[in-house]
Amino acid sequence: MKNPEKKSDFQKILEKHKFLVLDGGMGTMLQNAGLPPGGIPELLNFTDPKLITNIHRSYVNVGANIVYTNTFGANRLKMAKTHKSVRNIISTAIANARQSGAEYVALDIGPIGQLLEPTGTLKFEEAYDIFREQIEAGADADLIVFETMTDLLEVRAAVLAAKEHSDKPILVTMSFEENHRTFTGCEIPAMALTLEGLGVDAIGVNCSLGPVELLPIVEELCNWTTLPVIVKPNAGLPDPVTSQYHFDPDEFAGCCEKFIDLGAVILGGCCGTTPEHIRTVAQMLKTKTPIQKKNSIPSAVCSANQTVIINQPRVIGERINPTGKKRFKQALIEHDLDYILNQAIAQINAGADLLDVNVGLPDIDEISMMQDAVKAIQGITDTPLQLDSTNPEVLEAGLRCYNGKPIVNSVNGEEASLNTILPLVKKYGAAVVGLTLDENGIPKTTDGRFAIAEKILNRALALGIRREDVYIDCLTLTASAEQEGVMQTLDAVRRVKTELKLHTVLGVSNISFGLPNRELVTRNFLTMTLYAGLDLPIINPNTASMMSCVRTYKLLANIDKNAVDYIAHYGTESPENINNNNNNNIINNPGGMTLESAILSGLKSEAGTLTKELLTSSEPMQIVNHMLIPALDKAGADFEAGKIFLPQLISSASAAQSAFEVIKHHLCESSTETVNRGTIVLATVKGDIHDIGKNIVKILLENYGYQVIDLGKDVPYEAVAEATEKSHAPLVGLSALMTTTLPAMEATIRLLHERCPWCKTVVGGAVLTADYAEKIGADFYAKDAKETVDIAKRIFQN
Amino acid sequence: MGLPEHPDQKFLDLADLCEQKLLQAIRPKYTWKLFQKLDLEFLLIGQDIRNHLKNCDRMILFCATLSQNADTCIRLAQTSDVLAGMMTDAMASALTEQFCDLAEAEILKNFPDSYATFRFSPGYGDFPLSVQSDLLSLLQAQKATGICLTESNLMTPRKSVTALIGLSEQPIEKQRKGCVGCNLSQKCPYRRKGVHCN
- What is the ipTM metric for this complex? 0.90
Which residues partner with A405 through β-bridges?
A: A302
- Residues from chain B contacting residue A688 (CB–CB below 8 Å): 152, 154
Residue from the list B4, B10, B89 with its beta carbon closest to the beta carbon of A692? B89
Q: How would residue A39 be classed by pLDDT, with cut points 50, 70 and 90?
A: confident
Judge: B2–A646 Cβ closer than 8 Å, yes or no: yes
With H, G, I as helix, E, B as strand and everything else as coil, classify residue A11: helix
Best mutation target, B6, B21, B66, B79, to test chain A (most A CBs within 10 A): B79
Q: How confident is the model at residue A633 (pLDDT cuts 50, 70, 90)?
A: very high
pLDDT of A37 reads 77
| Cβ contact B134–A38 (<8 Å) | yes
Q: Nearest chain B residue to A739 by CA: give it.
A: B183
pLDDT for A668: 86
- What length is written for chain A? 798
pLDDT at A582: 44
A585 pLDDT higher than 50:
no
pLDDT at B187 over 80: no
Cβ-based contacts of A381 with chain B (< 8 Å): 76
Q: Which string of DSSP letters, residue by residue, matches A345-401?
A: HHHHHHT-SEEEE----TTS-HHHHHHHHHHHHHHH----EEEE-S-HHHHHHHHHH
Q: What is the mean pLDDT of residues B183-189?
A: 62
Q: What is the mean pLDDT of residues A460-489?
A: 95
Alpha carbon separation from A643 to A125, A597, A637, A646, A648 (Å, rounded) = 49, 16, 9, 10, 10
pTM above 0.80? yes
**Rounded to an integer, what is the distance from CA A127 to the centroid of its chain?**
15
**Share above pLDDT 90 across residues of chain A, in percent, rounded to a whole number:** 81
In this structure, the number of other CB atoms found within 10 A of the CB of residue B36 comes to: 10
H/E element holding A105? strand A104-109
Q: What sections of A166-274 are H helices per DSSP? A: 188-198, 211-223, 249-262
Which chain B residue's Cα is nearest to A381?
B76
Nearest to B79 among A183, A342, A687 (CB): A342
Nearest to B40 by CA among B58, B62, B63, B64: B58
Q: Which of A202, A107, A115 is nearest to A154 (CA)?
A: A115
- pLDDT value at residue A1: 38
Q: How confident is the model at residue B197 (pLDDT cuts 50, 70, 90)?
A: low
Question: What confidence tens digit (pLDDT) does each residue in A348-378 have?
Answer: 999 999 999 999 998 899 999 999 999 999 9
Distance between CA atoms of A622 and A608, rounded to whole angstroms?
A: 16
Distance CA A503, CA A472 (A): 6
Record: contact B87-A240, CB cut-off 8 A: no
**Average confidence score pLDDT of chain A:** 93
Is the pLDDT at A610 greater than 60, yes or no?
yes
CA A737 to CA A692: how far, in whole Å? 10
Whether A579 has a pLDDT exceeding 70, the answer reads: no
| Cβ neighbours of A740 in B, within 8 Å | 129, 152-154
Q: How far is B96 from B100, CA to CA, in rounded Å?
A: 6
Q: Which of A565, A568, A606, A604 is nearest to A587 (CA)?
A: A606
- Whether A650 contacts chain B with CB within 8 A: yes
Residue B28: closest C-alpha in chain A: A183
- Report the half-sphere exposure of A279 (CA within 13 A, side-chain side): 10
Distance CA A151, CA A174 (A): 8
Mean pLDDT of A664-670: 86
Q: How far is B175 from chain A (nearest CA, A)?
A: 25
- Furthest-apart CA atoms within chain B: distance in Å: 54
Which residues in chain B have their CB less than 8 angstroms from residue A114's CB? Answer: 148-151, 156
Rounded CA separation A473/A434 (Å): 6
Residue A116 gets which letter from DSSP? B
Instruction: Give residue limits of the domains in chain A.
Output: 12-286, 595-670, 679-796
Shortest distance between the Cα of B17 and any Cα of chain A, in A, equals 15
Task: Report pLDDT digits (tens) over A206-259.
Answer: 999 999 999 999 999 999 999 999 999 999 988 878 888 989 999 999 999 999
Cis peptide before B28 (omega within 30 of 0): no
For the segment(s) A679-796, the CATH number from 3.30.160.100, 3.40.50.280, 3.50.50.60, 3.20.20.140 is 3.40.50.280
Kindly report the nearest CA distance between residue A587 and chain B, in angstroms: 21
What is the radius of gyration, based on Cα positions, of chain A? 30
CB A768 within 8 A of CB A742: yes
For the A595-670 domain, the top CATH level (class) is mainly alpha
Chain B nearest C-alpha distance from A742 (Å): 11
Contacts of A183 in chain B (CB under 8 A): 27, 29, 67-68, 145-146
According to CATH, the superfamily of the domain at A12-286 is Homocysteine-binding-like domain (3.20.20.330)
Contact A4, A422 (CB under 8 A): no
Q: Which domains, ranges and CATH numbers included, belong to chain B?
A: 16-192 (3.40.109.40)
| Residue A33, helix vs strand vs coil | coil
